[in-house]
Structure 1
């Protein structure tokens, strides 16, 4: 797409300033004409204004309109020329001063377009439109840099996590090919476990990507019903670990995707069960609404105390509590809370993580209530 050449913003402002100065000068001259010169007679008989006694010498000379115009017009032209030069020079200087912030913003835009998101404008001075634009641009760059860094970490972690089960499967198959006498049942069982983990991880990655893209599904969903369904599904896991699972509260109507919201609730309850005391732990799920027009889902569990600095990292992909890898049967992919966070953002909600007073974690999901 070709663009036609045009005047720069600085030149346009310069011409505008000069034109304004010339207009002001023209209005001033027009004012002199309207309120002064038009009242001067066109012809004045200076012969009648002589000294008495017949000497013939005039008492005073009174210029007529033509005399004033001949004396005034050249000087007015000189003044207008000076005003034009002053307007152009002063306008060029003032336009440059005013557009200097735009030059810095343009440079920062080109740097960001080149792939460097760490550059910031940091415009000094008082608050004005350019300062507001600069601060908004810096905030946008900071958010983009954070998102790009997060995506790069996610891609690196995802490739690592997916490569591990594939490498294990290849190793098992190589061993089976080299040792035909190996027990096939044991080999098949191990391959099944590894492939199941790879499939679960792939599904979790797809679900996380879907949550990041948002959802166009808008249906009425009650979080209390989803909490009961998730608790019923995970009750055998809780009983196996000797953990008490309680669901309390009332209706919490929201609008969104029932599938994504059910996965969110299930992930929260499952994490609360898995990351708990070895035996005798408790998981409580509470739903309800708040006066501010918010539906709330709270999932709290017992467990080991969590350091406050760990909380911001729990919603990052492939973070697994206080350890990077778990060795039990619920190792997971480290995407549980990352998926929860993604689903909450897709439904314009807020996620709050608070360490329990005696250990464990309390997770609060706040979503707009369905009217």
Structure 2
């Protein structure tokens, strides 16, 4: 934004301080003068006649008053300039840090020393913002790099299949079409997952009452054929759990959790338990599954985009590596919390906790 040049804050403080000192000095001198004149007669008799006392005192007092006011002006300007500079020094450091950040360097920190005051609170808040912004930018760069790699993989496979067909026209065309269809479907799934993740991060959705238990029923019905194919039993139970948010996003969250629990399970003898409930002003959705034993260090990274557990990277229906990342993003967009803990016997227990929806009568007011 273009702004016309103006006086600096330091100069404004200096002039304000000098003006205040001059005003106080003037009032003091006027007060002294008034009280001094009240005790003096207009004239006094002497051997040489009447002497104009007030005129003589005024003649002597006026130059002294002018000298005092001039000294007060000089003192006010110098003192105001030095004090304003000292007081505004932290603001200068904050401004320099802001310009450095605006130029793209997010690693710089103000680290303002001294005891807590308004400037130090501002500096600490700015340092915290820079730290979060730097971490967010770094995460976005890693995400963009990994997403580009993931998207490049199906494109490279498609190119290779087409080149093989061109160079070897005798190959089965039906087999090629089938492989191309699978690769294309994977690329579409990845693109849709990226768009869903972006939508959740932007929080661009309308909030309405959503019953998570109904979402569970719909998700279980949708994923039941997949569970039967993997030999996984699904057990769903719980109470009505009214939350506030986007029904589509919360349904996607539920589908992702159950899908993840089915795919990463014990083939032919796995179990998935889905429960919903209400606890002290919040609603919970818990998905627990059997499976391989996972170390806590690996579990803590599963919500990162494109992170999958060991031995699970290229299984059928393994997804695109964004399932739990989308769950985390949707949960945070709904002001909730996501907890993932490994089960002692193998598998995971994933719990989503969201604010409960207010009573219907409250919403109708």
- Range into which the TM-score falls when normalised by the shorter chain: over 0.9
Instruction: Give the TM-score taking structure 1 as reference length.
Output: 0.91
Confirm or deny: 8 A CA contact 2:263 2:318 kept in the other structure: no
Confirm or deny: 8 A CA contact 2:42 2:52 kept in the other structure: no
Q: How does 1:152-231 map to 2 (within 5 A)?
A: 152-231=141-220
Show the counterpart of 2:352. 365
Note the C-alpha offset of 1:206. Answer: 1.2
Do the aligned partners of residues 240 and 216 (structure 1) sit closer, same or farther apart at CA in structure 2, a change above 3 Å counting? closer
Q: Does 1:302 align with 2:290?
A: yes
Confirm or deny: 8 A CA contact 2:337 2:352 kept in the other structure: yes
Q: Deviations over 1:304-341 (max 9, x none)?
A: 33333334422211111246x62221232110011111
Show the counterpart of 1:6. 6
Show the counterpart of 1:53. none
Q: Write out the 4+ residue segments of structure 1 that deviate beyond 6 Å after TM superposition.
A: none
CA–CA distance in 2 between the matches of 1:309 and 1:84? 68
Moved more, 331-340 or 33-42: 33-42
Moved more, 216-225 or 262-271: 216-225
Q: Does 1:119 align with 2:111?
A: no
Note the C-alpha offset of 1:271. Answer: 0.9
Confirm or deny: 8 A CA contact 1:289 1:295 kept in the other structure: yes
1:345 alignment partner, SS class? helix
Q: 2:266 aligns with which of 269, 277, 301?
A: 277
Do the aligned partners of residues 95 and 311 (structure 1) sit closer, same or farther apart at CA in structure 2, a change above 3 Å counting? farther
Note the C-alpha offset of 1:63. Answer: 8.5
Show the counterpart of 2:24. 24
CA–CA distance in 1 between the matches of 2:237 and 2:219? 13
CA–CA distance in 1 between the matches of 2:52 and 2:343? 99
CA–CA distance in 2 between the matches of 1:97 and 1:348? 43
Show the counterpart of 1:337. 324
Do the aligned partners of residues 31 and 357 (structure 1) sit closer, same or farther apart at CA in structure 2, a change above 3 Å counting? farther
How much is the aligned-residue C-alpha RMSD, in angstroms?
2.1
Moved more, 69-78 or 6-15: 69-78
Instruction: Give the TM-score taking structure 2 as reference length.
Output: 0.92
Note the C-alpha offset of 1:279. Answer: 4.2
Higher-Rg member (1/2): 1
CA–CA distance in 1 between the matches of 2:232 and 2:213? 21
Q: Deviations over 1:287-309 (max 9, x none)?
A: 12222x21211112223333333
CA–CA distance in 1 between the matches of 2:26 and 2:343? 77
CA–CA distance in 1 between the matches of 2:153 and 2:250? 30
Q: Deviations over 1:261-286 (max 9, x none)?
A: 11111001111122223443322211
2:249 alignment partner, SS class? helix
Q: Does 1:327 align with 2:314?
A: yes
Identify unmatched segments of 5+ residues in structure 2: 359-365
Q: 1:130 aligns with which of 98, 119, 124?
A: 119
Confirm or deny: 8 A CA contact 1:215 1:257 kept in the other structure: no
CA–CA distance in 1 between the matches of 2:90 and 2:300? 36
CA–CA distance in 1 between the matches of 2:296 and 2:46? 101
Do the aligned partners of residues 352 and 63 (structure 1) sit closer, same or farther apart at CA in structure 2, a change above 3 Å counting? farther
Identify unmatched segments of 5+ residues in structure 1: 48-55
Q: 1:239 aligns with which of 219, 228, 231?
A: 228
Show the counterpart of 2:252. 263
Do the aligned partners of residues 279 and 65 (structure 1) sit closer, same or farther apart at CA in structure 2, a change above 3 Å counting? farther
1:263 alignment partner, SS class? helix
Q: 1:316 aligns with which of 278, 293, 304?
A: 304
Confirm or deny: 8 A CA contact 1:220 1:255 kept in the other structure: yes
